[in-house]
Structure 1
Amino acid sequence: MINANQLFKAGRETKIFEVSDRLQVNDFYNESGYRMSSIHGKFSRIKFTIVDITKGSKDKAIIGEFNFKPTEWELLQSKLKLNGIEFNEKLKKINMTKANPYNKIGDKIEVKTIVISYETGLRVPRWKIVITTGKAAPKEEFGYDKKTYTKLSETNFMLDDLEMKEMVLYVSKFLKLWEENNFSTFIKNREAFINRAKKNNYDEESLDKWNAKNSTTDSFSSSSGTNKQYATGNQKGCCCSNCGKVVEKSKADITLKSFGKVLCSECLQKKFRNK
């Protein structure tokens, strides 16, 4: 499958590891955007994917995915720049867990965990990336109830020292260039928000109304710098509710009507695969 957003790829006989650009410019229509002047949008991510067909392809394949916020990637890459011996002496392993309240699995929510370690017990030491997918009951305010957690799948991928170094350096360089290239778009989006605020006397009580995305005049700035218009009349209509990927109007309207939220093709397939 063609993936123009692919930043790095490594393959083995039955597994593929891929890093993708899921970055988005802050459009200032979302609260997380206008409360903090960040160049990145709410769903701006660097995505790790492992495709494991050890037990079979298609519906038998195990797909592990984990998304990093740009700030999380900056912290991660600083640790992964250490050589394996230094990594083991200072960190031993990296362990991150995230609950996704937008991705429902029955009455539970999706929980993702990634563990990165440097395995020295092998004939040739390698970096090991393990991605685990599970589900759990959500807590009322934030997170999930650990007592209700159930593991659904787990897969791993091994990278040698050269592959890890190549991946970290390229993704970090790409992120820096992406931010430089999209800075002007970010400034334009911020100025447009300030102008909307001025026209409405900076009225925070009615902010949700005067800052709602108008499908006929406003557009969403994607990582490619192109603009796409939507007719859903709100922020949820411009991107996938699960991963934030830009969704065309026709597809957005169909999934919103059928499932109560906007879903991209990838997340729609995942929804049926998890059933």
Structure 2
Amino acid sequence: MGKRVAVVLAGCGVFDGSEIHEASAVLVHLSRGGAEVKIFAPNIEQRDVVNHLKGSPADEKRNVLVESARLARGNIQDLAELKVSEFDAVIFPGGFGVAKNLCSWAVDGKNCTVNEYVNSTLRAFHGAKKPIGLCCISPVLAAKIFPGCEVTVGQDKNVDGRFPDAETASAIAELGCKHICKDVSESHVDKANKIVTTCAFMCKAPLHEIFDGIGTMIKGKANTMDLTIQYLPKTSGHWCPSSPLIGISSELSSLCWKSSQGKGNVSQCFSRLGVNEIWPPDASTPMH
């Protein structure tokens, strides 16, 4: 069975909800990785509604859960019902809805408040030492809730006009967190807090680069997977590697076991397979 991942949405549409391409990219990468996904959203009214054709406010009211159901093809639950014990990781795609509906960053910046269910969900995953994935503007949620954490929203300067919201990095630093500059194709892993972030549409980049960057967060490119490896007992009594975000393939587990031939420890096994950095770094769990 693949890893169980909760995906939390903030509506439907970049200007007042979840960014649709980011949400789709997250779901595609998780599907390709064999994850078992359930989608959630808070059952609250949107802060505002934007006419996406005109880019102007619309005089109407919409519900975040109802709108998010469009992206989830109707298969969605109220965030209040999420039980952390039933999942291995949680991911928040970006979009202005994160800054408007999941928190008040769009209005209050670093002085924002975070929705109570978003807050409790993130704290519960963090407390259980389960990975948290955040795209685009979503890393501000971690910056607000977990002082001292490390995140990326891209660059802290508007390099070549590609990072128009670079000042967000300064606000994150003012909250006592460390902003790590990364390009759109990269992600950052805060090993201590198990928070994985990528800038996505905080960068003006082609869609395929956004898609690939989100893939680094989920699949483990650019060391993400290597840095988040855990060890879970198999029913046979042997130990096998498993990524907390989507899980390493059963083929790799089999290779690891065959490589060790029942001898040595996990670190030695992975070294033989060409994996140079593992989590935790000092892992020395016996293979049998």
Which has the larger Rg?
A: 1
- TM-score by length of structure 2 reads 0.25
The answer to which structure has the higher strand fraction is 1
